[in-house]
Structure 1
Amino acid sequence: MESHEKLVSLMEHFDTAMLVTNTVDGKLEGRPMAVADLTDSGELWFVTDRHSGKVAEMVLDSEVAITMQGSSRFVSITGKASLVDDPAKINELWSEAWKVWFPKGKNDPSITLIKVTPERGEYWDNSGFSGIQYMIKAGKAYIQGKPPEKDEAMNASVTMQ
């Protein structure tokens, strides 16, 4: 499996991600977001309120970071965020659970979509057989007194475009 495919495959394991934006004063701001959709190319879609701080931050600086973490899988993405006002796409992605934040439902005028187009990503996968392989390599490295060799099945940097 190619590194790009592996990265997207790992992203499928997550239903929540940390979206990190740049604030007006140059700080980083992260917040958890429900993943509304993930495309085969690795584009991520989120639903948000158009009046939120993150939207204002993305208008000024569209560069964002996404992190996803589980007990043995980790993904980091950097890319460009764009705001998308598309009622058909909102209808396609709509989840009734979002009514907590949008009591008027999918036709709530405050809903907008965030599409993140990844430019670069990294992953660490220590799940399943990869985790066993890592433990063996880590044990060997410990005994030999040097870091384990990098294995793209477990860890890789990927250029997405």
Structure 2
Amino acid sequence: RSSDGAWISIWGRAELDDKVEHLRQLWKDNWDIWFDEADKFERAVLVNVEPIQIEFWEPKKGRFHQFADMIKARYSDSSITFDESVHRLRVSAQDLAEAAR
């Protein structure tokens, strides 16, 4: 999220889907900024991911404090320890399989 720097990381097996009809079904208008109108469906592909592990990282502090911690680490002997600065949720393939039952 741009509001606080939270992000998600997905590991898994990926497969490219270049079927234009699938892309048209899922297309969002705000994606147009990344592609020329004339060839957007020829240049874009979908990536289907079968997740093996998913991590969600959410900073415990706001963006300003994260930036301050980075500056402090850069100009001092301190370092940033991500385990202390973020809330992290990890979901494995086994967790996903159990949730699907």
Q: TM-score range by the shorter chain?
A: 0.3 to 0.5
> Which is higher, the Rg of structure 1 or of structure 2?
2
When normalised by structure 2's length, the TM-score is 0.46
When normalised by structure 1's length, the TM-score is 0.32
Structure with the higher strand share, 1 or 2: 1
Structure with the higher helix share, 1 or 2: 2
Name the structure, 1 or 2, with higher relative contact order (CA <8 Å, separation 6+): 2
